Amino acid sequence: MPLSNKVVLITGANGGLGTAVMKAFLDSGARIAGVAKTIQNSDFPHSKFIGYSAELGSADAARTVTAAVIAKWERIDVLVHLVGAFIGGKSVAETDDATLEQMLEVNLRVAFYMFRAVLPGMRNQGAGRILAIGSRTAADPQPMVGAYSASKAALVSLVRTVALENKDRGISANVILPGTMDTPGNRAAMPDADPAKWVHPSQVASLLLHLASDQASQISGAVIPILGGDL
């Protein structure tokens, strides 16, 4: 198993993408701490899974979750950060302050808090993997999603900075940029779209699993698009 005896912290663990990621990682042999606003151990019945219900909108919350996992399993080898949100439909000129703040909070600040919380332990142990989910629009901006695209582009910059700052401590950091994913939420929001062109969450999960493994130890600072059939 590629992650036998590793400890993996997954945020956004029971979302549309999170469920596929959880399944892949639970099958990998790792011990998994899954974090979401509301989550129970019974959501993923497995001897190596523990759920932590938490709002990750503050530095204190990120530190508390990180400390709880380390207290349980003594270390965190991998952070898979899936938390994110989308708001679009308005031009930059029409976007209100609340939308901008929400996109920066959910897509950038929460990631910053989590990265900062897990990095000291990873640096002390001389190994770690940090993985995040961006968006195609971080590298390929589109009209009417300016705040969202900017927040995801900032996330890409943050991940690459973490990779550079920790390259001498055995820590890698990478970010995946998926196109529209085939999740129940996206199907409900876009009933007239063709999901055959969308990205399968299982493909994203498989790539995250590879990047978390020792087989990808030399991959760091990578920004990897997954676009499905919508090239």
**Spatial separation of the C-alpha atoms in residues 105 and 88, rounded to whole Å:** 15
pLDDT score for 67: 98
Closest-CA residue to 65 (of 117, 110, 101):
117
Q: Residue 123 and residue 143: Cα distance in Å, rounded?
A: 40
Cβ(115)–Cβ(130) under 8 Å? yes
Amino acid 97: pLDDT: 98
Residue 145 lies in a domain: yes
Q: Each residue's pLDDT tens digit in the chain (231 positions)?
A: 899 999 999 999 999 999 999 999 999 999 999 999 999 999 999 999 999 999 999 999 999 999 999 999 999 999 999 999 999 999 999 999 999 999 999 999 999 999 999 999 999 999 999 999 999 999 999 999 999 999 999 999 999 999 999 999 999 999 999 999 999 999 999 999 999 999 999 999 999 999 999 999 999 999 999 999 988
Instruction: Answer whether residue 167 is part of any domain.
Output: yes
Q: What is the pLDDT of residue 125?
A: 97
Tally of domains in the chain: 1
Residue 1 lies in a domain: no
In a domain, 144, yes or no: yes
At residue 1, the pLDDT reads: 84
C-beta of residue 6 within 8 angstroms of C-beta of residue 31: yes
User: In which domain, by residue range, is 96 found?
Assistant: 7-226
Specify if 101 maps to a domain: yes
Radius of gyration of the chain (CA): 17
Strand boundaries in the chain, DSSP class E: 7-11, 31-36, 49-53, 78-81, 128-133, 171-178, 223-226
| Residue 183, φ and ψ in degrees, nearest 5 | -115, 160
CA 12 vs. chain centroid, Å, equals 7
Structure tokens at 171: 């820590």
Order of all β-strands in the sheet with 223-226: 49-53, 31-36, 7-11, 78-81, 128-133, 171-178, 223-226
The answer to whether the CB of 34 falls within 8 A of the CB of 42 is no
Which CATH number goes with the domain that contains 197?
A: 3.40.50.720
Q: How much of the chain is in helix, strand and coil states, percent to nearest 5?
A: 50, 20, 35
This prediction has a pTM of: 0.97
Cα separations in angstroms, 61 against 6, 56, 102, 159, 223: 23, 5, 17, 20, 27
Q: Is residue 52 part of a domain?
A: yes
